[in-house]
Chain A
Amino acid sequence: MANKNHSDGDLKGTFYLVMALGVFIVVVWGLCFGLFLDRF
């Protein structure tokens, strides 16, 4: 159990960074797609 908690803690920072990067990519993609839809 102690090992499991230790492992979770090690990956928490990585997890937040990966999710933040993913959200950033999705948001930028969404903005570009919105620009495409807005233009004729």
Chain B
Amino acid sequence: MHLHKYEKYWLAFGVGSLIVFLLITGIMAFHNGSHPPSAKNTINYEKVDEIAPFNNPGVHKVEGKDWDYEAVVVASAFYYDPPILEVPVGAKVKFIATSKDVVHGFEVAGTNINMMLEPGYISEYVTTVDKVGEYLIVCNEYCGVGHAQMHSMLKVVEPK
């Protein structure tokens, strides 16, 4: 098969780009541990309020774990509990959330935190909050008539 030299150039460019993209994806996943938010843990969605850690929603300092804080959030139509999360800048935070009724979203606008909250499943995401600011948390899964009003706030503040 005869290939024109220009065809060889753009085939090399295309294949090279593909290899670079796959390498970056592989390095991000296996070396940097960048994964989609997990939902491998299950929960009885009818008894969320009675089951730890969702019986005590909020931000809690933890010891002896790979992260400094746990931000526990319970979503239900059409609000988040707690309504405001406040964490110190530089802290490694594990966001743990679930839904009590229907599918909700948990997107912290302007960040990479974006989880789907499904009834019966626990969604988790670990990140280091390294920029001070107030970040709007919105539901990005249509959940009913109050969906547009379903929001919360993540405050990243200077350590006290």
Contact = CB atoms under 8 A, between A and B. Distances in A.
Contacts, number: 36
Contacts of B5: 8
Interface residues of B, number: 20
Interface string A9-28: 00110110011001001100
A interface majority secondary structure: helix
A39 B131 CA distance: 9
Contact of B111 (A25, A29, A33, A40): A40
A15 B6 contact: yes
Interface stretch (B7-15, B67-75, B76-84, B140-148): B7-15
B83 to A, nearest CB: 21
Interface in B19-78: 21, 24
A39 B111 contact: yes
A29 B113 CA distance: 20
A18 B17 CA distance: 13
A33 B24 contact: yes
A40 B112 contact: yes
Given A7-B4, A29-B21, A40-B130, A15 B10 contact: yes
Given A15-B9, A18-B10, A22-B17, 13 more contacts: A8-B4, A8-B5, A11-B4, A11-B7, A12-B6, A15-B6, A15-B10, A22-B14, A25-B17, A40-B111, A40-B128, A40-B130, A40-B131
Interface of A: 7-8, 11-12, 14-15, 18-19, 22, 25-26, 29, 33, 36, 39-40
Interface of B: 4-7, 9-10, 13-14, 17, 21, 24, 110-113, 127-131
User: Closest 6 A-B residue pairs measured CB to CB?
Assistant: A15-B6, A11-B6, A39-B112, A18-B10, A40-B127, A39-B111
